[in-house]
Chains A and B, each alone.
Chain A
Amino acid sequence: MSGPVRLETRGLDALYGDFAAVKDVSLRFPANRVHALIGPSGCGKSTFLRTLNRMHETVPGAWIKGQVLLDGEDVYARGVSPIQLRRRVGMVFQKPTPFPFMSIADNVAAGLRIDRSLDKSRIAEIVERSLRRAALWDEVKDRLGASAMGLSGGQQQRLCLARSIAPEPEVILLDEPTASLDPQGTQRIEELVFELKEEFTIVIVTHNMQQAARVSDTTTFFYLGAMVEHGETKQIFTAPREERTEAYITGRFG
């Protein structure tokens, strides 16, 4: 592993009331890499992902123990605003979530308009660049003012990707971003993930092991809320150290 550590967790527990969905996870995510989180349903990988931008705490009764460090600073420290944090750590969800009442361009600009007073031409510039980076520009450049709901599922998901990269976050969290897409849409997203790591640090939760193997540099295997194994993707998939990891990636359970 190389590069500075962008994101790190130390002894992190994520709980819903008394139930610990994630137990004692310490991980380091170096910058400009793609990090995959794999494991069977309910293993806590999505919950873990949601602690990284403090979305976990938006669920009633949810709380954490331990630390999450972004560029060395604890994001759960007193005085850190989760709102400011989420502008530095973007997120794309399982199902595309374009805002139905906004046009394509307005969707991309949604995160830019929160409190910054950027002028129109600057916003238009960022919208175009974000759509280009999400490989959607050529498909929508003639209908930026049209409803985002007219796009296909795959296009909507790339739109959501464009929306989350427009405010220039440092980290992008992807929560099973291709779970609702067809193979073509999945391929486009995977190619994008590969390109976007030039500029961002990416953490992706996936059910699809081929996907993890294709796009990621490091892989972490979760089971029953605990981190079982973490390492270079190649090593995890060719020479797992843990028996449970091997059982999972060869399809014997989960």
Chain B
Amino acid sequence: MISRRALRRGKSRVMVGLMGVAVLVAILPLFLILASLVIEGASSLSISFFVNRPAPVGETGGGVAHAILGTLMIVGVASAVGIPLGVAAGIYCSEYRGTRLAWVTRFVADVLNGTPSIVVGLLAWTWVVATQKHFSALAGSIALAFLMVPMVMRTTEELVRLVPDSLREAALALGYPRWRTTLVVVLRTALPGIVTGSLLAVARVAGETAPLLFTALGSEYFSFDMDRPMAALPLVVYKYATGPYPEWHKLAWTASLVLILVVLVLNVAARLATRQRFDRA
């Protein structure tokens, strides 16, 4: 007969093993995607890919620098609008959680979170492109900002709610006005999490293709004009991947890899910039 102890230990091993398998299954897709990106895309990666415009069909070389710039600009403007709005709405919904407006806002945000991104693109098309009668990068930014607001809002709300009431009380008891308590103490305490949530939102919209198809449209040229069509990495990937030439397919892989790298660099940079700095004790 097996001892109870051995039985318990055996059960524990089986359970821990099952959890390990679950973790592997969960992260496997990520590694498969990254691996195929590197295998298919890394061979065409070169300096010129980062600094040049696309070469005409038939010629080799060329790059996606115009699309890197475009993605940074479109996503940058979307973030500048979407993140502050989302953070502010999130703070409201958490600090004034009992109000009817908070309830409505939360509900609308959840619906918006579940809305397909192409629908949001269509909205931006109707509002901006159709009224202005031309495609523009700004329309793309607006579509992306729409997608960011509910994501940023919900994370901010959850994180602000986690700030213990005792900290709010401590600040109020020191003579902080309510608005300063919220801004300085509550927001500052929740900031690392809000940064993470915002970065996830940035990463997600940086890869969105559908809302840009009929707003920013895409372009073959360098452009700083938000009022004109602009290139973006997802659009480049879409164009090259659905194109007829094998070289284009290769470029699509490489552009995808670049997109992942851009998101990675943004993540690291934002984390370094908002890191908590203390002297060594």
> How many Å lie between the Cα of A19 and that of B209 in the bound state?
58
Q: Does B131 have its Cβ within 8 Å of any Cβ on chain A?
A: no
A91/B189 contact (C-beta < 8 A), A103-B279, A146-B278 known:
no
The size bracket of the interface on B is 20 to 34
Whether the pair B279, A91 counts as a contact (CB closer than 8 A) is no
Partner of B166 from the list A97, A110, A146 (CB cut-off 8 Å) is A97
Q: A130 CB to closest chain B CB, in angstroms?
A: 13
- Knowing A143-B279, A145-B279, A146-B281 are in contact, say whether A101-B191 is a contact too (CB < 8 A): yes
Q: Is the CB of B280 within 8 A of A114?
A: no
> In this complex, which of B173, B276, B279 has the most chain A Cβ atoms within 10 angstroms of its Cβ?
B173
Q: Which residue of B172, B175, B176 has the most chain A CB atoms within 10 A of its CB atom?
A: B175
**Interface residue B34 (Cβ < 8 Å from any Cβ of A):** no
Q: Of A101, A114, A146, A147, which contacts B189 at CB under 8 A?
A: A101
Beta-carbon contact of A114 and B174 below 8 Å = yes
List, in ascending order, chain A residues with CB within 8 A of B189's CB: 99-101
Chain B positions 154-168 with a Cβ under 8 Å from a chain A Cβ: 164, 166-167
Task: List B contacts of A145 (CB < 8 A).
Answer: 278-279
Tell me the number of A-to-B contacts counted with CB atoms below 8 Å. 71
Confirm or deny: A117 has a beta carbon within 8 angstroms of a beta carbon on chain B.
Answer: no
A1 at the interface (CB under 8 A from B): no
Q: With A145-B279, A146-B281 in contact, is A99–B166 under 8 Å at CB?
A: no
Tell me, in angstroms, the Cα distance from A110 to B175 when the chains sit together: 10
Beta-carbon contact of A53 and B176 below 8 Å: no
Q: Out of A58, A83, A150, A160, which one reaches B175, CB within 8 Å?
A: A83
Residues of A in contact (CB 8 Å), total 30
Q: Which of B161-199 contact A (CB under 8 A)?
A: 164, 166-167, 169-177, 180, 185, 188-189, 191
Task: Decide: A103 near B175, CB < 8 A? Known: A93-B169, A95-B166.
Answer: no
- In the complex, B58 has a CB within 8 A of chain A: no
With A103-B279, A145-B278 as contacts: A86 and B172 at CB distance below 8 Å: yes
B residues near A163, Cβ cutoff 8 Å: 174
Rounded to whole angstroms, the CA-CA distance of A167 and B173 in the bound complex is 12
Distance A167 CA – B279 CA, assembled complex (angstroms): 25
10 example contacts (A-B, Cβ-Cβ < 8 A) are as follows A97-B169, A99-B170, A100-B189, A101-B189, A110-B174, A111-B174, A111-B175, A114-B175, A145-B279, A160-B170
Besides A84-B175, A101-B188, 12 other CB < 8 A contacts? A53-B173, A83-B175, A86-B172, A93-B166, A97-B169, A99-B171, A110-B171, A114-B175, A114-B176, A145-B278, A146-B278, A164-B174
